[in-house]
Amino acid sequence: MQQGWITRPRLESARAALLAAEAQVRAAGFQRANATIAAPGPGTVLARLAEPGQVVAAGTPVLVIGEEASGYVLRLPVSDRDAARLTLGAAAQTTLAALDDAVIVGRVIEIAGRADRATGTFAVEIALPDDKRLRSGQIGNARITANGVGATTLAVPPSAVFGPRAGEALVYVVDLATSRVHLRKIHIGEANDAGIGVTGGIKPGEWVALSRVDRLTDGMKVAPLGPAR
């Protein structure tokens, strides 16, 4: 068979076309390999952020996955005063309404480094033990043992407290020597059957005004009837 011949420009053009075709094949293979989204581990799809057939840019999240291996956490806001006393690893007794308020003991694994701009509170995460009854989105409460907090907590009736904001509130403290009230800022904690917990600002034995606090002014003379609880 007689060997044919072509000009050098046509040969270079054919080689360039071959290289371009090979590059297209590699690109198609890369796109095919990345067309399948694989979860990092077993879990549950919590949210779908894109629809089938939708074109998204590289790096755009399309699914939110709750990994089983990472477990569940309870996120809750705490005041700046309480956040300063919390430590990583502190025990937390959590209750979830969906579990009939059964107590689940967790531990603090993260304390936010700065306050939320809208609320002024710090986000705290509590790791919960493995429990098949837990689901993402469940609502619960937690009682955390903080540094410097003993078993006895001062509490005042809700009627004595006004102007609450980010773990702080105001009360009128009664000066028994002069029978006058003085406005004072206090640090508040959780509310319970005993009233609103107070973590600072007043001492046991001090009296606070319980009624008509909206009509009181700093330094007003009153007739004390009973002590604060």
| Residues 104-133: tens digit of each pLDDT | 888 888 988 888 888 888 999 998 888 888
CA gap 195, 191 in Å, rounded? 6
Domains of the chain: 73-144 (2.40.30.170), 154-215 (2.40.420.20)
**What is the pLDDT confidence band of residue 220, given thresholds at 50, 70 and 90?**
very high
Half-sphere exposure of 66 (CA within 13 A, CB side): 11
What does the pLDDT look like over 132-146, one tens digit per residue?
888 888 888 888 876
Q: Per residue in 112-130, is it b (16+ CB within 10 Å) or e — as a string? A: eeebeeeeebbbbebbbee
- Confidence (pLDDT) at 156: 86
* Cα–Cα distance measured from residue 190 to residue 167, given in angstroms and rounded to the nearest whole number: 9
Q: Which residue has the higher pLDDT, 110 or 41?
A: 110
Residue 152 corresponds to which tokens in the numbers above?
A: 């006895």
Q: What is the largest CA-CA distance in the chain?
A: 124
**What's the rounded Cα separation, in Å, for the pair 187 and 200?**
5
Residue type, 181: V
Alpha helices in the chain (DSSP H): 8-33, 80-85
DSSP 215: G
DSSP, collapsed to helix, strand or coil, labels residue 150 as: coil
Residue 181: pLDDT above 70?
yes
Q: How many CB atoms lie within 10 A of CB 1?
A: 3
